[in-house]
Chains A and B, each alone.
Chain A
Amino acid sequence: MRMDTVIMGGGLSALTCGIALAKRGQRVAIVASGQSTLLFNGGSMELLGCVDGKAVTSPLEAIAALPAEHPYSKLGADRISELASEAHSLLTDAGIVMEGKADANHWRITPIGVAKPAWLTLSSHFSIDSLGELPCKRLALMCIRGFFDQPNGMLAEGLKGLGFEVDKLEFTTDEITALRRSPSEMRANSLAKRLVSNASLQRVADEINRLAADADMVLFPSVLADEDVIQTLKSMVKKPLRLVATLPPAVSGNRMQALLRHYFRMLGGNYLMGDTVVSGTLEGDRLTSVTTAKLGDMPLRADNFVLATGSFVSKGLVADYGRVYEPILDLDVDADADREQWTRFGVLEPQAYSRYGVKTDAGLHCLKQGKPIQNLRAIGSVLSGHDAIKMGDGTGVSLLTALAAAQSILATK
């Protein structure tokens, strides 16, 4: 089967790149090995959050000072602003409504109540522009009885630490109580499937209005399936209402993925869910086809290929007892040869492995035995030289490298 471009991997970077290409009329196939880590996203994108342990206030300025091996440096610091605004529009076109600026970070609140710098946050979610200037004083933190995915105590303490007054208000409704029959399923996505009808939302709203009469703002766990449901609940609640991220798998991430995938399909893209690229055929400095587990002896041929297979958790990188490797084509990777260097004691310490990834040239082309493969570009978490956890640059690298790769593919035509 022949495509213009085949994208290996199905997460944020793959979908972004696929949409950008399909929009320009390309025939694109995305091969997704199951659901991606986008499902863990609590509703924010980060461009650059932290450098050397210090919070970044202006990502655009800080990016200019990043070392040469960082993916942003490869794109060129002068292109970041334009790519960031293109990414923001693409998300908006897909129906993902987010707010934020590339030249000034705001603060998102993690499910355990920590404020972290962010570039874009869903408009319906709680965020703070400046820690020195809180938007209000008294928060009503709505706590659903028996709900697994919101550690209320930690969240409330975190918010208090930022200077808010917080009332933890526990509530339930008959529908929510019914969910507790299944002890393992009292999770965010299960709630999202039940809190849909106006009647069930009204019962929730009645509880909020009853309990949160004294608050300046109501914080509600992000367990609402879509924008319509959010707007309905907002209209029923007397106080301003914002959502707070829950522990993953997150409803917001699930929704973002569904919207991006729907947009891609509407543009005629082929999304092969639950399939995996197992090997590829190289001829000289080009990749001519890839074989997937399910399409079997009918390989996918294409002019261009994109590696968007993610990092260790998505199996885009694999570590065994001897080495770190890229499992499809055994591409060159940036990783320490000495296993002792991979990790260091203390799970919260900076870890070397989180910067590992495939080697690329300045045009994001993958390398094999030192030589670039001319029609294979790597994007997103599989790239080396960045650190989603310690630098807060994961989603930004995914979005921006995806768009840059799409531009470069379209330019080769």
Chain B
Amino acid sequence: MADKMQICNISENNFEQCTKCSICTTVCPVAAVTTDYPGPKQAGPDGERYRLKDPAYYDKMLKLCLNCKRCEVACPSGVHIADIIQSARMKAGEGKRASLRDTMLANTDLLGMVANKVAPLANATLGLAPTKLVMHSVMAIDKHRTFPAYSRTKFETWFKRHAQSRQDAYPKHVSYFHGCYVNYNFPKLGQDLVKLMNAMGYGVHLLDKEQCCGVALIANGLYKQAKRQGRVNAASIRQTVNTDHRTVLTTSSSCTFNLRDEYPAILGIDTRDVRDNIMLATRFIYRLIDEEKVKLVFKKDYQRRIAYHTACHMQRMGWQLYSIELLRMIPGLDLQELEQECCGISGTYGFKKENYERSQAIGSVLFKHIADAQVEAVATDCETCKWQIEMSTGLPVENPISILADALDVEATRQANGL
């Protein structure tokens, strides 16, 4: 009998495994707030059966999907629901041009490069009411949003001027994919990573060529550019892994997820050979401590109460455990893990005028949990969650790496690691 029956999947995204249990529809943050979106089951495996017959069945409302992957995390049958939706969007968008607004939002590095040069001007201008109004009406970027402030000095520039020459002296080494946010908006996070790794005896190095990982390009339909940049990153990562034998560390959950999983799944760039060598710094550090290869010593007078928010892509990777467990090692840090809810920003999604209300409605559940937790700050591994939570709750949001660096007794840590 077996030889006459199909015993394995024939689709890459597992859609034959859907048992129609509808569990995914209960966790979709978009379907929860709007009836315009058909929900993950209909948009994903159900719709796919029709689209395979005739692409005309493509529903343009699939653009409302956040690509948060919560449907995939919930699915008891392992169906790659969000990948099915992303691939359908990509297929439907082939040959179409993205709008000026979407192109601008998607090119986080281009925007950053220009803004860096005129940072004080850009920060002042982007924050002005008339500018916001023009952006709102002409560009359709929502007036409630403030662009994250641009730094005057890029992380790369700071690194080359102040840190690079010291790195070779350390006994062990890692590479760092800093991403656009660290480079253009918030170099301090990169500096915190360098401080932390150096104290443990690790030199930090930039990649030969780093370009924006492309997560925003994919979300905005600029697939060709995403592929082009992805190939550059894949080559640089492969070089440092294979030639320098270095692990590539990251501090952004979305960049990490994109490099490891979306490159092969969505862009067709096979990074599987180096996938295990790309990881969030918190995972790398946790492992070193777990294997008793390094020690972290923290300040004695550190006292804070912080809530940890699991970003959607972090949940999809399943790595929140490392960030949480590292933070729990800090004496004096009272950490409360929040229920895993979407903050609603989803990268550039929430910046668009047409999505603003939906974005805030999605986030409202999380904002209430944060208010109930009565904390002084929120920790998360995603920069766009940070913008959204800071804007919506007024609380400061910090990356776990920055919290660790802040709580670290640098001298004592260096000594504990034989430096």
A contact set with B: CB distance below 8 Å = 1-2, 29, 33-36, 39, 178-182, 184-185, 187, 189-190, 193, 248-249, 254, 258, 261-262, 265-266, 270, 272-275, 292-298, 313-315, 320-321
Contact = CB atoms under 8 A, between A and B. Distances in A.
A273 B340 CA distance: 9
A314 B276 contact: no
Contact of B23 (A34, A270, A295): A34
Contact of A249 (B21, B42, B276): B21
Nearest to B365: A193
A181 B36 contact: yes
Contacts of A189: 25-26
Given A274-B316, A294-B318, A185 B290 contact: no
A178 B34 CA distance: 10
Given A294-B318, A314-B76, A185 B340 contact: no
B39 interface: yes
Interface string B261-296: 000000000000000100000010011001000000
Interface stretch (B140-148, B211-219, B221-229, B319-327): B319-327
Contacts of B287: 298
Interface stretch (B67-75, B185-193, B394-402): B67-75
Contacts of B317: 294
Contacts, number: 109
Closest 8 CB pairs of A and B: A294-B318, A274-B73, A34-B76, A321-B2, A189-B26, A181-B35, A182-B35, A275-B318
A275 B37 CA distance: 27
A274 B319 CA distance: 11
B195 interface: no
B321 A272 contact: yes
B134 interface: no
A179 B35 contact: yes
B73 A273 contact: yes
A1 B23 contact: no
Contacts of A179: 35
A35 B74 contact: yes
Nearest to A314: B76
Tell me which of B74, B287, B318 has the highest count of chain A C-beta atoms within 10 A of its own C-beta: B318
Contact of B42 (A2, A184, A248, A320): A184
Interface in B88-144: none
A261 B339 contact: yes
Nearest to B72: A274
A238 B405 CA distance: 59
B26 A34 contact: no
Contacts of B336: 266
A190 B339 contact: no
B2 to A, nearest CB: 4
B31 interface: yes
A315 B76 contact: yes
22 contacts: A33-B76, A34-B23, A34-B75, A35-B26, A35-B74, A180-B35, A182-B38, A184-B25, A184-B42, A190-B31, A248-B21, A261-B339, A270-B324, A273-B74, A273-B315, A274-B72, A293-B318, A295-B321, A296-B276, A298-B287, A321-B1, A321-B7
A404 to B, nearest CB: 26
B339 A36 contact: no
B23 A39 contact: yes
A274 B77 CA distance: 10
Query: B interface, how many residues as a size bin?
Result: 35 or more
Interface string B1-41: 11001010000000000000111011100011101111101
B22 A249 contact: yes
Contacts of A295: 318-319, 321
B337 interface: yes
Given A187-B25, A295-B318, 14 more contacts: A34-B23, A35-B26, A35-B76, A185-B35, A185-B39, A190-B31, A193-B33, A262-B339, A265-B339, A294-B318, A297-B276, A315-B76, A321-B1, A321-B2
Contact of B27 (A33, A35, A293, A294): A35
A132 to B, nearest CB: 38
Contact of B25 (A185, A272, A293, A321): A185
Nearest to B275: A296
Contacts of A1: 286, 290, 321, 325
A249 B26 contact: yes
A33 B337 CA distance: 20
Nearest to A298: B287
Nearest to B283: A298
Contact of B22 (A181, A187, A265): A187
Contacts of A184: 25, 38-39, 41-42, 46
Contact of B318 (A262, A292, A315): A292
A190 B283 CA distance: 37
A190 B41 CA distance: 13
A320 B36 CA distance: 41
B26 A274 contact: no
A1 to B, nearest CB: 6
A315 B21 CA distance: 14
Contacts of A2: 290
A313 B1 CA distance: 23
A9 B396 CA distance: 35
A182 B318 contact: no
B290 A274 contact: no
A182 to B, nearest CB: 4
A331 B149 CA distance: 56
Given A33-B76, A39-B23, A321-B2, A185 B38 contact: yes
Contacts of B286: 1, 298
Contacts of A261: 339
Contact of B321 (A29, A36, A249): A29
Contacts of A321: 1-2, 5, 7
Contacts of B21: 248-249
A29 B320 CA distance: 12
Contacts of A187: 22, 25
Contacts of A320: 7
B321 A254 contact: no
